[in-house]
Amino acid sequence: MRRVWLISFVLFLATFGVFSRVLVGQFVQWDDGISVYQNPNIQGLDWARLRWMFSDASYAMRYKPLTWLTYALVYQLGGLKPVGYHLANLLIHCGNTVLLFGVIRRLLAAGNPEESTEERLAQATFPAAGGALLWAINPLRVEPVARVTDLTFCLLLCFLLLSLWCYLRACDRSGGSAGHSAFYWGSVAAFALAMFSFPFAFAYGVVLLVLDWYPLRRFAGCAHGWRDAAARQVLLEKIPFLLLGGTMLATVVARLSPTGIWAGFHVDGGFDPFERAMQAFYVWAYYAWKPWLPFHLSPFYNTLVNFNPNGWPFWLSAAFVIGTTVLLVRQRSQWPWALALWVSYLLLLVPALGLTERPHFAADRYDYLPGLVWAVAIAAALRRLCAHPVLRAAGFALAMALAVFWGALSVHQARIWQNSVGLFEYMIRELGDDPNRSDIHWRLGFALAGEGKTREAVQQYQASLRIRPTSNCSLLLAELLEQNGDRQGALTNCLAALALGPTPVDRAKAGEVFAALGRGAEAIDEYHQALALVPDLVPTLNNLAWILATDPDAGNRNGVEAVQLAERACTLTGYQTPVLIGTLAAAYAEAGRFKEAVATAQRALNLARAAGQTEVAETNRQLLELYQSGRPYRQPPPASGTAGPAP
């Protein structure tokens, strides 16, 4: 046992060392804003936010309450400092390495029932360590560890491995029936936590059935197949896992009926069954070879964006998947372990096949779960080599060499994720002349603008528009030009964006640009059009309420409507966001309800101070004095100052 603890400690330290560079990284503008630093719903642990975490599936088109809760806990400890979120990802990944080591030991020990449990576990220790280490430091692990948003995968796997470890202990039965029951229900509970972290492993119950067949051999001796009582008991045990797997339906519904920031996302009804099948074969084949050749990694792979299903990569992938399946089924009596691993691999990848969306992206993070299969395969191979002294030494030497090589690649890959600018520049280089680099150019421009590099940002926006004009990029360029005094350039780009048929979110952005240009009537019109399509866009509700309450042109003001919109925005966020409450105070003032305006502004001031938002607090302090004197706030016209955000 002491040796097991020592190896676990070494595995933890080795994994931590390879990925430790992520601790000096920043948030990246590759969904980290949506998940954390622009997400007010994780910035606290009050009842309103907790209710949102466990009831909402539309914000990220996924139901993952425990992930939101983990973000909120990190926020409570360290606010919005990136290091806290990166540390959480890294520690969970290191813990997953240790858990995987324990799970593989149990799986290998279950494969040889002729020896005692202690002997089998002892013989499986070093092979299991080798398999776990090679899984942990594979370069495909960099994305889920380095990107804060991918805490979902790390947390999911943590609970899933706990569930599998408990299940293997339950099937061992060395602790008697009482021990079996405790470990079984522990497995069910851990799987429930996994599904509440991220419903990616909904096929887990079927994977357990595969393991029951081999290596656990729980169907051995069932001469009458499913009619035997022992076989029926094994099947009945899977009911809780299958029911919990059904929680993924919340995510499916969210993806079929997106709202909020995802309003422009829609399932492509023209994606016919043949194309779906060929895409699935490609994804299955891709993750079979990519972990072994982890080169030219990128968060953006363009193969499945627009593809010809009759292309040779897709037919070759189909031949590989079908051929491998047929071969292993025919050889199941000789290679049961191979068939069990292969079927488990296919099942674990089902959520990553992209059957409900187009375009689809084969991201590195999707290998986080199915990559376990190759870890078990490596450990099983090392276990077999242990029976031959010469081959054993060669096998472990090869494994160590591969670990050093993959570890070096991972260290290099982790540097790429240090910040948004470096990440997007790398992605553009990897894409080469592909027209899809247009999307990355505007993202790079946005990141550069955030660093105050206006000239470089404009160049990136213009590069994106030359390749493929989009309303989003035109609006971002318009916003940047307006901030730097080029009002005509801002107007030109804003009108160009509207001519491209923008999404509801783009219309909301156009409203912001018009508001900054002092064109209040046009801003109001764009905000109304955005809300007509997506009524609960909180930033748009807030911005429209602000302009209706504070616009210098009396013809654009409407205090009654401003109050309605601002109250809706505050209700959707549980009256916990100081900026939104400040807008509500301004709306009350415009409507002549100064008593309520004063109380609401005081509330916004108190919340801003508690949250450390000094600028928001100072703005609301000044507005509070204005409302106390019985006067509403009027936004200065652009000639004397650019229109600003709500307090």
User: pLDDT tens digit string along 424-435?
Assistant: 999 999 998 999
Domain of residue 312: give its range.
Answer: 2-416
Ordered DSSP codes for 236-296:
HHTHHHHHHHTTHHHHHHHHHS--GGGTT----TT--HHHHHHHHHHHHHHHHHGGGS--S
Least confident of 122-136, 272-286, 498-512: 498-512
Output the CA angle 162-98-153, nearest 5 degrees: 60
pTM of the model: 0.85
Instruction: Work out the pLDDT band at 546, boundaries 50, 70, 90.
Output: very high
Is residue 341 domain-resident? yes
Least confident of 33-47, 229-243, 263-277, 329-343: 263-277
- Write out the two tokens for 310: 């009759």
Is residue 449 domain-resident? no
Least confident of 109-113, 150-154, 276-280, 557-561: 109-113
pLDDT digit string, tens, across residues 310-319:
999 999 999 9
Mean pLDDT, residues 203-218 taken together: 92
Least confident of 68-72, 165-169, 371-375, 479-483: 479-483
102 touches 82 (CB < 8 A):
no
* pLDDT at residue 384, as a whole number: 87
Residues 6+ apart with CB under 8 A from 117: 109, 172, 174
Give me the CATH number covering residue 610.
1.25.40
Q: How far apart are CA 218 and CA 214, in angstroms?
A: 8
Is residue 299 domain-resident? yes
Ordered DSSP codes for 517-581:
TT-HHHHHHHHHHHHHH-TT-HHHHHHHHHHHHH-SSGGG--HHHHHHHHHHHHHHTTT--HHHH
Residues 6+ apart with CB under 8 A from 400: none
- Write out the two tokens for 304: 């499945």
pLDDT at 253 over 70: no
* pLDDT at residue 641, as a whole number: 40
Is residue 461 domain-resident? no
At CB < 8 A and 24+ separation, what contacts does 362-365 make? 362/282, 362/283, 362/286, 362/287, 362/301, 362/303, 362/304, 363/143, 363/299, 363/301, 364/139, 364/140, 364/141, 364/142, 364/143, 364/144, 364/297, 364/299, 365/143, 365/144, 365/147, 365/150, 365/153
Asked if 296 and 147 sit in the same domain, the reply is yes
Mean pLDDT, residues 583-603 taken together: 94
Is residue 342 domain-resident? yes
Mean pLDDT of the residues in the chain: 89
The total number of structural domains that make up the chain = 2
Asked if 542 and 411 sit in the same domain, the reply is no
* pLDDT at residue 130, as a whole number: 95
Is residue 282 domain-resident? yes
* pLDDT at residue 645, as a whole number: 41
Q: How many of the other CB atoms lie within 10 Å of CB of 340? A: 24
Last residue of a domain, one of 365, 392, 416: 416
pLDDT at 462 over 90: yes
Last residue of a domain, one of 416, 445, 467: 416
Q: Which helix (H) or strand (E) holds 416?
A: helix 389-416
* pLDDT at residue 265, as a whole number: 52
Is residue 506 domain-resident? no
* pLDDT at residue 72, as a whole number: 95
**How far is residue 112 CA from its own chain's centroid?**
39
359 versus 326: the higher-pLDDT residue is 326
Is residue 301 domain-resident? yes
10 versus 513: the higher-pLDDT residue is 10
* pLDDT at residue 533, as a whole number: 85
- Write out the two tokens for 562: 């401003």
Instruction: Work out the pLDDT band at 258, boundaries 50, 70, 90.
Output: low
